[in-house]
Every structure is written in structure tokens, then in C-alpha cells.
Amino acid sequence: MSTNSLNRETKILEYLKEHGSASIQDLVEAFGVSNMTIHRDLNKLAETGLLVKKHGGATLPNVGNKPMEDVSTCAMCGKAVSQRTVFIVKLDNGDEIRACCSHCGLMLQSRTENVWQSLTADYLYGHMISAGQALYLVGSEVNICCVPSILAFGSRADAEKFQKGFGGNLLGMDETIQHMHGMMHMHSDM
């Protein structure tokens, strides 16, 4: 990454802290670069969670009413959020709520209104995938965060190979949420 790009990204964040939000055109005029350059900068910053891209511009992220500094803790259990297991619930108003893992993320997803989109990290490769299209390995021997362990996979073949080695049940998003709610009811009846 060039020094100019890094400096510009830092200045974009400073601009957003000062103004709250900015249009693409505001940033083009402020930094004297092209629309495409601003789009690339905003995409990089959005991927790291430092800003939220909106149609025609960007804002700083809010987690409910929490300031940006609290983005690194899980909204469900308070644990640190790791990029390897992050689950992000995006709301209609542009806010993002982050969870430490698919276990907390799916509980959050099922309890949150006005969800626009949810993303989760593919356990093997680390890239973000649609939470609704992911496959979840529930209750495997690999416990990396909350229990029962729920690991997200973007590929059925990868998930099945992992399941052969570490056990667990392979479920879609809705089935996983139902499974978790069933477990909570089972434990509350005891």
C-alpha cells in the first residue's frame, strides 16, 4: 500500500470523525482524487470495519448506541472479536453489530429486528461470506470460542471434510438457530 493511500485513508477517517458522514463527491473534492480512488479507499476501510459504506458515501460505524471503540467486543457475550470468527449483523439503518463467533452471531441475528444482511468469516479461509448461505458445523470437537462450537463454512465439500475429522452436525442457518433455541429450552426445563 502506498504512503499516499495510507495517508488518505487516515485523513478520510479524520474527516468522518469531524463531519459524521461524507459523500463520495465531498471526499473527491477534499482530497483531489478520482471517484474510483475514493471508492477503493472506502472499500478497504469498510472491509476492516473502520467505516460503513452507504449509497453515495460513508459514515463511521455505530454498534447500537455504542461508539466506534467498542466494535472489538461481542455484543452478546463481551468477548474480544477475532477476524477469524467474526459475525456481523448489518441493520437497515447502516449500523453494524459484531459478535465474536457464529454461536453468538446467530443468537444475535435471531433476536435483532431490521436486519438487512449478516456476514460471517469462513472458518478455513477467513474471508467473509453471507451468513444465510453458509453451512454451520455445530458441536464439533473444535471449541475456539463459545460453546457449543459453531463453525461457518462457505463450501459444503470443505465442511464435510472438516466434519469427518472433528464430528458435529452440519446445518443451514435456520436449522442452526432452531437447534440453538431447542437447546436453550431444553436447559431451561431442567
Asked if residue 130 and residue 36 are part of one domain, the reply reads no
Cα–Cα distance measured from residue 57 to residue 180, given in angstroms and rounded to the nearest whole number: 38
CATH of the domain at 36: 1.10.10.10
Asked if residue 10 and residue 103 are part of one domain, the reply reads no
Asked if residue 100 and residue 183 are part of one domain, the reply reads yes
Can you give the residue range of the structural domain that contains 39? 3-59
Q: Which of 69-73, 133-137, 144-148 has the lowest mean pLDDT?
A: 69-73
Q: Which of 29-33, 52-56, 140-144 has the lowest mean pLDDT?
A: 52-56
Asked if residue 44 and residue 92 are part of one domain, the reply reads no
* Tens-digit pLDDT profile for residues 109-123: 999 999 999 999 999
Asked if residue 90 and residue 180 are part of one domain, the reply reads yes
Q: Is it the case that residue 125 has pLDDT exceeding 90?
A: no
Q: What's the mean pLDDT when you consider all of the chain?
A: 85
Which residues share a beta bridge with 99?
87
Q: How many domains does the chain have?
A: 2
Asked if residue 18 and residue 38 are part of one domain, the reply reads yes
Rg (CA), the chain: 19
User: Among residues 24, 91, 97, which one has the least CA distance to residue 15?
Assistant: 24
Asked if residue 47 and residue 126 are part of one domain, the reply reads no
* Tens-digit pLDDT profile for residues 6-28: 788 888 888 888 887 888 899 99
Asked if residue 52 and residue 96 are part of one domain, the reply reads no
Asked if residue 90 and residue 13 are part of one domain, the reply reads no
